[in-house]
Amino acid sequence: MARRTRREYDHQPGFTGRRPEGWAGTPGFPTHDAEGAAGGVCDKNAADGRVALAKATDKQLLGPWTLLAGGQKVFTMPRIAVLRSFVMNHLIHHRAQLTVYLRLNNIPVPALYGPSADEGKF
C-alpha cells in the first residue's frame, strides 16, 4: 500500500543506464512457483487499490505524483492523470492484446466490455 500513498515512485532505483550482465527482469520483482499464485497476488493488489482509491480525496488525486528512473525524474503529473493515462489505458491495452492472442489461437473471445461477437448473441 506504500506505493499508492507516496508522492513519487522510483521504477529503477540505482539504475545507471546499463543493464547488469545476465539481467532478465526487474530486480526484486516477485516470482511465483505455484500455479495461480500470481493471480492471487494480482487480485489482492487490485482489491487494495480499490480501497485506496475509494478513500482518496479530490485534493489527494489532484496532487502531483512523480515517476523516477534511477533517481532521475521521468515526469510529474496529477495522480488522477496517472491513474487514467497509465493505469486504465495500460489495462485496456493488455485486454486488447489478450483478445488478439485468443483470436489467433481460435479461442472464442469472452465478453470483456459487453457481448462478444464470438458468443453468437448478435
> Which residue from 91, 9, 4 is spatially nearest to 54, judged by alpha carbons?
4
pTM above the 0.75 mark? no
pLDDT value for 54: 92
Confirm if 3 and 52 have CB atoms less than 8 A apart: no
* Model confidence pLDDT, tens digit, residues 49-97: 889 889 999 999 999 999 888 888 989 999 999 988 888 888 888 888 9
E strand or H helix at 40, and its extent?
helix 37-55
What is the CB-side half-sphere exposure of residue 68 using CA atoms within 13 A? 14
The model's pLDDT over 15-60, given as tens digits with 9 standing for 90+, comes to 565 555 555 555 555 555 555 566 677 788 888 888 988 999 999 9
Q: Give the residue extent of every domain in the chain.
A: 7-12+38-119
Residue 111 cell numbers, joined:
465478453
